[in-house]
Amino acid sequence: MIVLQLQQRIIENKDWATLLFLLCFVVIAIIKYLFEIQFNEFLRLPFSKKYTSTYKDTSNLYSAFTISMFFVQLISFSFLIQIILSYFDYTTKANWITFIQIFTTLFVAILIKFYVEKIVATIFDIEDFLEIFNLKKVTYRTYIGLIFLPIVILLYYNNFLSVGIISIFLAIIGVGMIYFYFLSIITYQKQILSKIFYFILYLCTLEIGPYYLLYHWFTKK
């Protein structure tokens, strides 16, 4: 006699992720409509210096364009981290609680880092330079997040992630950040050379340090 054993099929709900992806596209569409010229120049960021030279005023760091694109970037990177964690069986792609934890952690970490940098800049008397530096850093990081968004969507709804793809993502982020720092040093070499000690101290403690700690934690865990 054949005994049939029924197993419950667990279907994960991905509706919340779909809504977030749609929200990102709605925000991008609104931004493109309201700031069409700025958005078009932003898309040409890797190939042209026009965006960084036109929108170099530090007030742009708190503009609607920057803040809106910042949240799109946060959603993109949060999904990317969750997808990578699901690949290593730390969670699942459809776990919305994990997503909220990742999103909140990223947001709080960036916010704390931003205000710590302002305190350090005040102590070292480099406020003006750091404001410009932060604006360029946010701009390039937001661009990477925007480029990653469609790739993240493909990875979320498909299962072809591999160590090679993860390495490519990390390499793109690493090369992008190195490219940004190289451009910044070339552009602001006079300001940097005048306060070279403070700049190196800032770079090691607030830029390289956090990434090293994340790498150390990830490789150990």
Residue range 179-213, pLDDT digits in tens: 777 776 676 667 666 666 666 766 666 666 666 66
Question: Environment class of residue 117 by beta-carbon count within 10 Å: exposed (0-12), middle (13-18) or buried (19+)?
Answer: buried
For 48-94, give the DSSP string: -SHHHHHS-SGGGGGSHHHHHHHHHHHHHHHHHHHHHHHHTTSS-TT
3-state secondary structure of 95: coil
Determine the angle formed by the axes of helices 64-87 and 163-187, rounding to 10 degrees: 150
pLDDT digits (tens, 9 = 90+) for 11-70: 466 689 999 999 999 999 999 999 999 999 998 887 777 887 788 777 787 889 988 999
104 vs 217, residue with greater confidence? 104
Computed over its alpha carbons, how large is the radius of gyration of the chain? 20
Would you say the pTM of this structure is higher than 0.85? no
Tens digits of residue pLDDT in 95-109 = 999 999 999 988 988
Q: What share of the chain is helix, strand, coil (3-state, %, to 5)?
A: 80, 0, 20
Residue 158 confidence (pLDDT) above 80 = yes
Cα-based angle 33, 38, 68 (whole degrees, multiple of 5):
65
Of 133-137, 154-158, 210-214, highest mean pLDDT = 154-158
d(CA 101, CA 45): 31
Contact of 69 with 141, CB cutoff 8 Å = no
